[in-house]
Amino acid sequence: MKKLGMSVEQIEDVQSIVIKTPQGDWVFDAGTEVSAMTMQGQTTYQILGTPHFVGAAPEIPKEDVTMVASQANVSEEKAREALVATKGDIAEAIMKLAQG
């Protein structure tokens, strides 16, 4: 393979790999196997493992938190938690808080 200008390397002791997307992150934890193959100056990485998906928390405007807190008569912390759980849906967050 060296005659063809190729080299393959196993990357040892991988702790984690994170692939970030707008919707969230794909996370490969320890134990994931990674190989790097270089050919003609370009390196390709192969990842062998099972990822888990971590969704991105929506950005919640301060005004929305304040409104939900006052409408549901709860703290801003509780209001923010409800808005995150409902992906920013104000009406659903207020209803969720009113139910208990």
At residue 4, the pLDDT reads: 72
Averaged over successive runs of 10 residues, the pLDDT of the chain (100 residues) comes to 82 95 92 94 96 88 97 96 92 92
At residue 40, the pLDDT reads: 87
Distance CA 22, CA 28 (A): 17
The three state secondary structure string of the chain is CHHHCEEEEEECCCCCEEEEECCEEEEECCCCEEEEEEECCEEEEEEECCCEEEECCCCCCHHHHHHHHHHHCCCHHHHHHHHHHCCCCHHHHHHHHHHC
At residue 57, the pLDDT reads: 74
At residue 1, the pLDDT reads: 66
At residue 59, the pLDDT reads: 87
